[in-house]
Structure formats: C-alpha cells, structure tokens
Structure 1
Amino acid sequence: MPEMNQHGQTVNDIVPGWKGARVLSRTPLSGRVCRLEPLDAARHAADLFEAYAQGDDSDWTWLASTQPESIEATAHWLLGKVMDDALVPYAVIDLRTGRAVGLMSYMAIDRQQGTAEIGHVTWSRRMKQTAMGTESVWLLLKNAFEHDYRRLEWRCDSMNVASRRAAERLGFVWEGRLRNKLVRKARNRDSDILSIIESEWPERDAELQAWLAPDNFDAQGQQIRRLAAFR
C-alpha cells in the first residue's frame, strides 16, 4: 500500500525481495493446439512463406516488414530476428499439421525492471481468429510471469484497430498513445500501448485457460462461449 515517508511525501508500494526477473531463454512452449518453437530460419522459412502467401499485402500494412516474395527472402527476414540478441523469437506451430503458421517474439526485455513486450507478431491467415492466436499469446504470458516478470506490454499502430481489440480481448489494459513515436514506411506512427501486470495475471490466466479448454469448442473447432463470457 502507498505510505508516507519521513519527508511527508506519499510513496508507492514496496516490492519486497525484488531481485529482477529471470532470463527468457529460447526454449519450446507447448499448448493444446499449438507449440512455440524457437525461430529457425532454415527450418521455418518454407512453411511461413507458404502460410503468408494465403493472404495479401493488406496483412502487412501496419507492420515494419513487407511480405517476403520468396522462400529465400523469408529465410533472410527470419535470420535477422534469429540473430538479434534483443529478441526471443518463436515460430507458431499448428499441432494438427506440424507446420509453422506465424511468428511472435519477446522484445524490449528489461530483467532489472521485470518488463517485456510481446512483439513482431506476424500471424498468417491460417491462425487468425483461431484458438492458436489466443493460445500462443497465453503461452508467452504464462512463461514470462513464471519467470518473475511484473509487466507484459503490447504495442500497436494506433490505426491498427484490430490489433488493439485483439489485445483488449486477451485482457491487456489500454494505457495511452505515444504520439509521433515512429516513422514507418514513410508514414507517421502513433503507438498505442497496453499491458497486463502481475496482480492481474491470475485472473487473466484463469479466463484464458477456461476459454481454451477443449469443452469450450465444438467438433468443428468453433468456440462455444466467447472469452468475454469468462470475465
């Protein structure tokens, strides 16, 4: 609880025994419908090129990247993420097929402060509006909070309403807008920032697990109850 210090100033909560968060290593994370594998340019390039080809350039409007035009270009793009020591990048594997259908990463990792961002989210149309999208984010959240992180962020272009709504559906709380944050593809980007903090996680975790449970899906894999129904 906030308290008064010796100078008559109100100060915020003490974080007892805080020693920082633990390393987020590049290790697999397994769920019921998808698995997150450490990104490997050679292993995942062909699958991801083919998955992204199911869509068109409109899927890339608000992303820093453009849609790769070949398997070789996909591998080169992925290698940049693999070689970036500031990222912990994952391929999203559809357990039904064993093939990569998207990617996402931990980024902006600050162990001393216990914060990280879920970013580089590049889902193909094979995983959008499926349980894989929800489960893949849940796996990253669960893993980070188990490693003592206190805050997980989601940032998106303020014009990317679908991304913001997806984050809010998952339980991220909108905190504000960083104006003129970036110049991306020769256009201004204002960045919306959302987060889940450690005190919120047990409730969010229970909601997500309830929604992801097998008995919440019919024989065709369609949800029976919306995630909002578990709040």
Structure 2
Amino acid sequence: MSQKMNEYGQPIGETVSEWGPAQLPPRVLMQGRFCRLEPLDILTHVDELFEAFSSGEAGGLWTYMPMGPFAEVAELKSWMDAACAGEDPVFYAVINELTGKAVGFASYLRINPAVGLIEVGFIVFSPQLQKTAMATEAMYLMMRCVFDELGYRRYEWKCDALNAPSRKAALRFGFSFDGIFEQATIYKGRNRDTAWYSILDRDWPTMKTAFTQWLAEDNFDEQGQQKQVLSQPLAKAQSNQV
C-alpha cells in the first residue's frame, strides 16, 4: 500500500474518519461459561479474594505488583478502599461459576476513549485461577467488551520485563510484543523495565473466532481438559492476518 503524503511531501498516517470516540467501560456483569466478571465490590468480594490469595501455593503472587502482599484481610481491604473505587482503573472480580466465589481480579486502566486506547492491568489471579479455562475466558470477556461493545482501537498489556509468566501469558492470549521501555518506573524501591504488548481492533475479528473455538464446549473432554491448545486457533487466525 502506498504511503499517504501531505501537500509538503511528508508521509502522514491514514485518516481516521469512521471511528469513535470509544465508550467508558461500564460496571456491568460479563457472563461466561466457566466464570463471570462482576464489578468489584469490596464488601462482597474482599474476604473471598483474601482467602484465594492466601493459599499455600500463592507465594510470589505479589512480586511484580505495585501492591501487596497482604498479611491480613484488613490490609487488602484498605488497599481496595483506596485503589478500586475510582473511574480509572475499573476493577472486576473473577467469579468461579462452579463455586460462586471470587478467585481473582483484573481491571481496565489508562482509559482514553478519545483516541480509543485502553489497557488491561492489575491482574491478580489466585492459584485456583491461574492456567485454567476460567483465566482464558476472563481475558476473552474483557477483550470482547473492549472491541465489540466499547469500540476501542488498541488494547494494551504491560508488565515488568522480568515477569516471565506475565509475558508468556500476554503472548498466549494473542497480544503482540511491542518492545521494552527501559527504566519506565520505580516500584517497591526497584527499577522496572516495562514490556509492552497490544491487540489492535483490526486483528480482533479473527482472534475472536479463535477464542470462541477454543472455549466451545466440544473442545473439552468429560474431565474438563482441553483437546486443542489455544495457540493452535490463534496461530491460524494470526496467519490469516498476514
């Protein structure tokens, strides 16, 4: 495709004429098959979240987060009171459909409807949620809301560049690696180089097909184990974008 030029012979970006602005994320229920996302309510969810975050396998859960760990439920509640009640970030609790209990949370943040930019972050998944169909579905529900319902152009994921599990998860969920911003911030007295990832609206239709294929009931056996890994339909979808 030829580069668009202005009257001075300078290359410029394509005109954005049939878009936006996007909408602010609403505090509404997002229903899935394995889980649902509920607007985070401190009184409703804090005890269940503290219990989920305090399991014996939760060591290191807060290493790459700007908050935590929390030794007592009152400490978690205090942080939630200060951080989770505003308009940005907008937090959602991940509820296990089988137990009805909160097992993690995530948020939309750095929300800029005017240019169609939004980020997913403050993702804290307890051991009961990590590496499960619930985790994948929770991320899918948030993506679907961003692109299909709210009309954003770019969806971002950022993490400490040393956080290998988060970087692996970003790629597994279909985000593309954008690069490393060195010395991007300081948290817990430590330097953080930030790894950036993104999904663009033009990539979403094929990615949505891949997610719905993976989440379909016939992709799981009687024990609830996946028959096809998510990377297979996503790889196929991404190859079709080239």
The amino acid across from 1:215 in the alignment is D
Q: Does 1:37 align with 2:32?
A: no
Report the equivalent of 1:24: 25
Change (3 A) 1:75 1:216: same
Q: Distance in 2 between matches of 1:187 and 1:130?
A: 31
Q: How many residues align?
A: 231
Percent of paired sites with the same residue: 38
Unaligned runs of 5+ in 2: 237-242
Following TM superposition, by how much is the alpha carbon of 1:217 offset from its aligned partner in structure 2, in angstroms? 1.1
Moved more, 19-28 or 71-80: 71-80
Q: Distance in 2 between matches of 1:175 and 1:218?
A: 36
Give the alignment partner of residue 168 of structure 1, picking from 163, 166, 171: 171
Asked if structure 1 preserves the Cα contact closer than 8 Å seen for 2:90 and 2:107, the reply is yes
1:146-204 per-residue CA deviation (whole Å, 9 max, x = no partner) reads 21100000001000011011111111000000100111111111000000000001111
Asked if structure 1 preserves the Cα contact closer than 8 Å seen for 2:84 and 2:91, the reply is yes
Q: Distance in 1 between matches of 2:193 and 2:5?
A: 37
Give the alignment partner of residue 74 of structure 2, picking from 44, 52, 72: 72
Following TM superposition, by how much is the alpha carbon of 1:92 offset from its aligned partner in structure 2, in angstroms? 0.2
Q: Does 1:185 align with 2:184?
A: no
The Cα RMSD (Å) is: 1.2
Report the equivalent of 1:123: 125
Following TM superposition, by how much is the alpha carbon of 1:85 offset from its aligned partner in structure 2, in angstroms? 2.2
Q: Does 1:215 align with 2:230?
A: no
Q: Distance in 2 between matches of 1:204 and 1:98?
A: 29
Moved more, 29-38 or 66-75: 66-75
Q: Distance in 1 between matches of 2:67 and 2:39?
A: 20
Following TM superposition, by how much is the alpha carbon of 1:19 offset from its aligned partner in structure 2, in angstroms? 3.6
With normalisation by structure 1, the TM-score equals 0.96
Asked if structure 2 preserves the Cα contact closer than 8 Å seen for 1:49 and 1:74, the reply is yes
The amino acid across from 2:21 in the alignment is G
Q: Distance in 2 between matches of 1:18 and 1:220?
A: 44
Q: Distance in 2 between matches of 1:103 and 1:15?
A: 34
4+ aligned runs moved over 6 Å, structure 1:
none
The amino acid across from 1:205 in the alignment is K
Q: Distance in 1 between matches of 2:216 and 2:85?
A: 36
Q: Distance in 1 between matches of 2:187 and 2:59?
A: 16
The amino acid across from 1:44 in the alignment is H
Moved more, 155-164 or 220-229: 220-229
1:10-159 to structure 2, matched below 5 A, reads 10-54=11-55, 55-146=57-148, 147-159=150-162
Q: Distance in 2 between matches of 1:19 and 1:171?
A: 24
| SS of alignment partner, residue 70 of structure 2 | coil
Asked if structure 1 preserves the Cα contact closer than 8 Å seen for 2:20 and 2:116, the reply is no
With normalisation by structure 2, the TM-score equals 0.92
